[in-house]
Amino acid sequence: MTVLGLLSLIGRILFLYTLGVVCLQALRRRDPSRFDIVPLILLLGVWLLPWGPFPLPLALRHTLMALLPLSTLLIVRHFRIVPTQVPILGWLVPTLVVVGAVVWGLQVMDVTRWAIPTYLGLGVGAVTFVLASEALRAEGVQNRRIGFAAAAMAILLTSFLASTVARFAPVSVRIAAFSLNVTLATTANFFLFLAFAPPRFVVARWRRAHQASYLAAMAEREPEERGLTAAQDLLDAARRCVGGGLIVVARPRMDGSERLVIRACSERELVGNSFVCDDLLARVYDHAVPASGRAQDCGPLGSLLARYGRFVLVAPIRASART
């Protein structure tokens, strides 16, 4: 077996393992965020895996590849606000490919042969930028996993651009580009594996490293300083341990008040806003027991939270006998 053959085999094994783990986790946890990862991995298989003696029809392959940026938005919307117009555009392009193939036949492929690469380059490039910026903003394990996902998308984009340019090059350059693409595809599969299906011992090591750095930073502060920055410290701890599209640390305006004030938030412009403690928030506040639910279960705050995600995790802040 040649080196390229070995790399290709390793890439396939990593991809199939990642796909299996993602599907298994989605079935076990039944979490919408897990289900949203499945179509992304499946569509990446169209891009990454060679189909050998069973090549996909060109129209179907172009349609599936056109769905890739749209499927990536399913991941992005869990931590960023996605404008309504963007998914509409994402559905429009693959729909036009299918309709064109049915109405005008395979002649439409002469158009999509250039339209789809352009659309993919722009779409995947934009998603890569969003993932990279989120990786820089996130902390803890989430930072690592989103960073690996961004790296995988960047490598795929590089491979795609290299193969597109190689079409106009001599045969020797095409052969070199093929070898490069095999290496890049294997690397992308490895990063996808670390992003979506990392082994438990790897995740545990990441968590221990971040926990140690966090505790070391806390130990360097004086007690008075820690008291002044308690809300921000809670925000940092939640960001490292849980992650999420939006993290809010809120306390009552005064003892016994039903109105909470946002003391720290991952979106700085929301700091200082107040809201009534109602529904799910009231249950957590009264019983001092963490709970999860939908964003709309959080009373007046639900409309704001719904912009950043569909599900929320609410935990009480306990200090002695007070919440």
Strand partners, 312: 293
- 297-321 mean pLDDT: 75
Please write the tens of the pLDDT for every residue from 55-100: 556 666 666 777 787 788 777 776 666 666 666 666 666 666 666 6
Q: What's the token pair of residue 222?
A: 């004086």
pLDDT above 70 for 2: yes
- 250-271 mean pLDDT: 80
Ramachandran category for residue 6: left, alpha or beta (phi over 0 → left; psi -120 to 50 → alpha): alpha
Query: What integer pLDDT is reported at residue 55 of this predicted model?
Result: 56
Residues 97, 108 contacting (CB under 8 angstroms): yes
Percent of the chain residues past pLDDT 90, beyond the cut: 4
Query: What integer pLDDT is reported at residue 323 of this predicted model?
Result: 47
Q: Is the dihedral of CA 295, 296, 298, 302 positive or negative?
A: positive
- What is the C-alpha to C-alpha distance for residues 78 and 242, in angstroms, rounded to an integer? 13
Please write the tens of the pLDDT for every residue from 20-38: 999 998 888 777 777 888 8
Q: Bigger pLDDT: 297 or 323? A: 297
- CA angle (4, 169, 113) in 5-degree steps: 90
- 246-265 mean pLDDT: 80
Range in 126-130, 222-226, 258-262, 318-322 the model is least confident about:
318-322
Which residues, at least 6 apart from 186, have a Cβ–Cβ distance to it below 8 Å? 7, 8, 10, 11, 14
Which residues, at least 6 apart from 48, have a Cβ–Cβ distance to it below 8 Å? 11, 15, 156, 185, 188, 189
Q: Bigger pLDDT: 76 or 184? A: 184
pLDDT above 70 for 49: no
- What is the C-alpha to C-alpha distance for residues 173 and 184, in angstroms, rounded to an integer? 16
Query: What integer pLDDT is reported at residue 101 of this predicted model?
Result: 60
